[in-house]
Amino acid sequence: MPSAAIAGPGGDPFVLPSIPDGVEVAEEPAAYTHYPFAPDARFGGVDHNGGLGLIRGTLLGGAAVAVRSVTLDNGDVVTAGLVTTSGTYNVVLNRQSAGGIGVNWPATGQIYTIHADASGRSYQSVNDLKLFDGRLYVMATRLWTSTDTDVDVIVFDLDGNLITRYAAMGTTAAERGGGLAFYQQTTIPIVTYVIVVGEQTVSGRTQPVFSRASWTSSTTLVRDASVGLKVIDIPNDFCATSARPCSMSVAGVTTTGSPFLSTSPQRIYIGGSIRWDGSDWDFAAMRVTLAGDLSTGFGTGGIRRFAVDADATRTDWLTGIAARRQGGFTDYYDEIFMAGSVSQRCNDGIGIVKLADAGGAVTTFGGNGTGAMVIGGSNGGSGSIPVCIIGAGDDLPSGGIGITGEHLVIAGQRQWRTAGTNELRGDVLFAAVRANGGALADLRSHRAISPYSGVREDSIVYGLSIDSGGRVVVAGNMQIGDGRLAFLSGRFIGDRIFGNDYEAN
């Protein structure tokens, strides 16, 4: 399992003090000499925070954590997360302008809109946020009992009004959300299908679950009875004898192709981690049809397990999956990318894997002939006794992976320890590698500066998205004092002049 993050849900109720306004928004960054990406200094509004900062507003709460983000067609950024109100975790959507300044939702007159469970139960996590066909879809895992969780898909219009809460997964098993995908059927009228991917745990075994729903009216989502809640079985060939029946945890879902073009058919990929043996987990990807059946043309029977194993047989824990369609009309193919936390002898790093259309490793990626690479953290050299760096910490890819242009981008947290006191701290981590060969283009930590004085600043990214201009929008949280957490948002922008990684002569 991955290392624990420093900033995260928890803390006592707080009220954010006021911050003086009046700081001008910075100009666009100059061309970057050494890196293809940098925090967009135009994003952040009045705090002039250099592209990373708090989401401002009058929201009262305790644990404030933003988890996912999307960008609307007008450039506004929406982040989804959790906030505690009256001791209960509720789903919240925050809205900012393209410059990072809070924008009020017409439905609420505030920069946030909150969805609370009608029965007063807490939401445990936000698993996905997607914008599709003029609607905002939030996937969230909700507590039912102390041992049973269900999955909701909460849908809003672009004014922040609640359209519906769709109970996507709700059995006696413990269920958790994994991700959302969409496709449309070219009938008259056009039918929009919502693909819901999650996981369920029964008797200690975790397996992926697939379902789909369609809109039967402007306010009603109904599950497709022909698919139902389809549990995707992981055959025993994918784990050691001691771990059977095999378990797989879901980290995300991504799609390629188009539902409208027979020359580029849509495919669905589910990413996660398969438990090989004991505490040893490996990356995994599967390809499924629009009905949730495994596609036999990918991997072994539709599943591909990949062990990075930077340190023998320790844990590789997937945090994100991305894919892209390549080629032409008659020779199209997919490239699939996985990223996650990998155990190393000194400090955990980030593993990145590239798979070909049929699920095989792309051996030209990463430079070592395996189709995988590890960045960040430290394995302590090749000797029998690792040589670890004092004060260094783990690099966590908690924000997952995305594709923008020819780069794979990853966000999360870089941990480090203070000199003398050895106190564990955390900053925003951003990395980029070339999608073709895996050449490392960027791997840095970024301190998110709090506008409040005299507080400890720890920050983490839990999710990223790519807007229509190729900019990387991140969402997470920042610790701004003992027991106080605030929403964090930011945007990274590519070098518009030398974005191909080459310097000018």
pLDDT digits (tens, 9 = 90+) for 440-488: 999 999 988 777 777 777 899 999 999 999 999 999 988 876 667 788 9
Report the alpha-carbon distance of residue 490 to residue 488 in Å, rounded: 7
Report the alpha-carbon distance of residue 503 to residue 505 in Å, rounded: 6
Residues in Cβ contact with 261 at an 8 Å cutoff, skipping those fewer than 6 apart:
none
Domain ranges, ordered by start, for the chain: 171-446
Q: Which two tokens stand for residue 200?
A: 């369920």
Q: What average pLDDT does range 357-381 have in this prediction? A: 95
Q: 77-81, 168-172, 187-191: which range is least confident on average?
A: 187-191
As beta bridge partners, residue 341 has 317, 350
Q: What average pLDDT does range 129-143 have in this prediction? A: 97
Confidence at residue 61, expressed as pLDDT on a 0 to 100 scale: 47
Using DSSP, state whether 58 is helix, strand or coil: coil
Confidence at residue 54, expressed as pLDDT on a 0 to 100 scale: 80
Specify whether the CB–CB gap between 110 and 58 falls below 8 A: yes
Question: Could you give the percent of the chain with pLDDT greater than 70?
Answer: 86
CA-angle at 125, arms to 119 and 126, nearest 5°: 100
Residues in Cβ contact with 360 at an 8 Å cutoff, skipping those fewer than 6 apart:
371
More confident residue, 473 or 12: 473
Specify whether the CB–CB gap between 183 and 259 falls below 8 A: yes
Specify whether the CB–CB gap between 387 and 458 falls below 8 A: no
Q: 293-302, 357-366, 456-465, 488-497: which range is least confident on average?
A: 488-497
Report the alpha-carbon distance of residue 394 to residue 378 in Å, rounded: 8
Specify whether the CB–CB gap between 400 and 411 falls below 8 A: yes
Specify whether the CB–CB gap between 269 and 353 falls below 8 A: no
Confidence at residue 311, expressed as pLDDT on a 0 to 100 scale: 79
Cα distances (angstroms) measured from residue 422 to each of 91, 391, 417: 35, 7, 5
Residues in Cβ contact with 342 at an 8 Å cutoff, skipping those fewer than 6 apart:
308, 309, 310, 311, 314, 315, 316, 317, 348, 349, 350, 351, 374, 377
Confidence at residue 389, expressed as pLDDT on a 0 to 100 scale: 87
CATH architecture of the region 171-446? 5 Propeller (2.115)
Cis omega (within 30 of 0) on the bond before 189?
A: yes
Q: Using DSSP, how many helices (H) and how many strands (E) does the chain show?
A: 0, 31
Q: What average pLDDT does range 7-11 have in this prediction? A: 41
Cα distances (angstroms) measured from residue 192 to each of 115, 132, 182, 220, 432: 24, 9, 7, 12, 34
Confidence class of residue 181 from pLDDT cuts 50, 70 and 90? very high
Report the alpha-carbon distance of residue 364 to residue 79 in Å, rounded: 36
Q: In this structure, how many other beta carbons lie within 10 angstroms of the beta carbon of residue 130?
A: 19
As beta bridge partners, residue 324 has 335
Specify whether the CB–CB gap between 138 and 80 falls below 8 A: yes
pLDDT tens for 18-59 read 333 333 333 444 434 457 888 888 887 555 567 888 876 545
By the 10 Å C-beta count (0-12 exposed, 13-18 middle, 19+ buried), 265 is classed as middle
pTM: 0.91
Confidence at residue 328, expressed as pLDDT on a 0 to 100 scale: 85
